[in-house]
Chains A and B, each alone.
Chain A
């Protein structure tokens, strides 16, 4: 059963193509991370999912309803974190909790106040005067109190220092797994994401580069560091090579193939080398390896 089903999404801004025929699903109970560089369409996808953007063609269904026409009942099941932890910053933490509680019959304020008790804010302090980290906790607390089935988190890491980022991720992971929640999260900061997500979808300009369980991706996508015999040796990006980064005689070779296959490939191309080793990658390394440094 899918919480989100997007079929053949195509969107343009003016004449600029964002993506064409993009399709993906998010299984219930899974945490899917949509990763991509700036401008690859992460926020466009979020806006389509939340009904704030009509795609040029295609559709997204959330719990079977078209995202452009979500009923109040379905919206109750969706928690939405806007990029930058935007909230009603003219309110204080008491006012905002009182406001939202009026919309959700199953509102549970215990996790909200638990998080608020950790913040060093005064009861009447407006959200606008809080730090980005504190605001992230307010936004997170409100979502937890809403107790939605699906959480859509748009670039939750923006502006957070490593401590708050880690706190957010750990809290979210524990909550989502304990309560069998579905999470769709985007970020352009990949650090720490391995701790959070089950499945990864990596977007590049106009297309999806990878969409699979993060563990499978990390086990099959590999980086080999190679020292070439000659710095002038050309290595073309074709065949099994997904990406190649070359600085003088140092070559970073990214591929879904095994060590033996890469060696055979280099041999067939007549590429000589003096050293060859597989480098263990973090998700961030793998992301950069797949999407290139620039």
Chain B
């Protein structure tokens, strides 16, 4: 069953996934070309100093990447289900309605995590060429809220798209916009460290909210 659902979901999102990976790779190439350029023209020790003590970052271009990837994958996956109320077909499959939604959501989230981890892995590998472990660890901690924000975006956009009533969609969008802004707040390197666990837990809780929209659709809200 999961295999068939994954097959359908992959058909919907595969193009977006490849484009997201392509954009992520281009962003990484841009980052490391710039790092190489700066190290060549500024002394490496001074360059590192600016990160460790002056709060500069060399990876700001990645800030909105998880958000855009989460948004794009959620739209590619759930918007086609809303056209002509096609989600009826999905709910009519011989599987429990919550089960089918959880499977779709799990697949989309796993693909998004895969895209984000790929970019994060390549970023870490590229950074290891130029920087010591301390800078890389601090960089990853700084980026962590952005990546959690990407997942939260995916979960919330799914909730909004499957919601049958426009007024509720508007309400959810306003709440989601305020909430996701927290993940993208500007802050010095490493300053998000104390709130990473609560943010992670909240993101995990958001994973289930799509079931509420599914329930409202099945009840016939319109």
Contacts and interface: CB of A to CB of B under 8 A. Distances in A.
A227 B84 CA distance: 49
Interface in B178-222: 217-220
A82 B18 CA distance: 32
Contacts of A89: 80
Contacts of A72: 94-96
Given A75-B94, A75-B95, A89-B80, 9 more contacts: A51-B218, A53-B219, A73-B94, A86-B86, A87-B86, A88-B89, A99-B4, A102-B7, A103-B95
B13 to A, nearest CB: 10
Interface of A: 47, 50-54, 72-73, 75-76, 78, 80, 82, 84, 86-91, 95, 98-104
A104 B94 contact: yes
A76 B91 contact: no
B8 A91 contact: yes
Contact of B84 (A47, A51, A53, A82): A82
A159 to B, nearest CB: 12
A47 B222 CA distance: 12
B169 interface: no
B174 interface: no
Given A72-B96, A102-B4, A82 B220 contact: no
A11 to B, nearest CB: 9
Nearest to B92: A80
Given A91-B11, A102-B3, A52 B88 contact: yes
B220 A53 contact: yes
B108 to A, nearest CB: 15
Given A78-B92, A88-B89, A103-B94, A52 B7 contact: no
Contact of A99 (B7, B85, B86, B220): B7
A250 B158 CA distance: 60
5 contacts: A52-B217, A52-B220, A82-B84, A84-B84, A91-B8
